[in-house]
Amino acid sequence: MTQHGAVLQGYNNELVEFMEDLRMQKEELNKEIQQAEEEKNKLQHEIQILSEKLECVRENLAQKVASRNELDKSLAEIEAAYMKILDSSRSLLNVVKKQVGSLKCTPELKTN
């Protein structure tokens, strides 16, 4: 019987060792899980901050593009009006040149 008791005690000791090893592995795994959860939470927070910044940049960009489009429209209108002024000035200059030319042909203005 004593021999059976010693064998049983040996099994018991080995079983206790395995259980202790498993507990230590579980403890280590729990620490790793906690660290991973903390890292995940940190990354999620950073993603949220970056998402908010991205939305601000998108809104700012949209406003700037809209402003640029308005400026393009204004510039096109101003350039078209300026071209009309240039055309009118050229026409006026041609009329004045013709009138001056026709005035030079009249006998009263000829100088001898």
For residue 13 the two structure tokens come to 């000791």
**Furthest-apart CA atoms within the chain: distance in Å:** 159
37-88 pLDDT, tens per residue?
A: 999 999 999 999 999 999 999 999 999 999 999 999 999 999 999 999 999 9
Specify the pLDDT at position 102: 85
Which region holds residue 52: left if phi is over 0, alpha if psi is between -120 and 50, else beta? alpha
What dihedral angle (degrees, nearest 10) is formed by the CA atoms of 84, 90, 91, 97?
170
Residue 65 burial (CB < 10 Å; 0-12/13-18/19+)? Answer: exposed
What does pLDDT average to over the chain?
93
pTM of the model: 0.58
Domain layout of the chain by residue ranges: 1-70
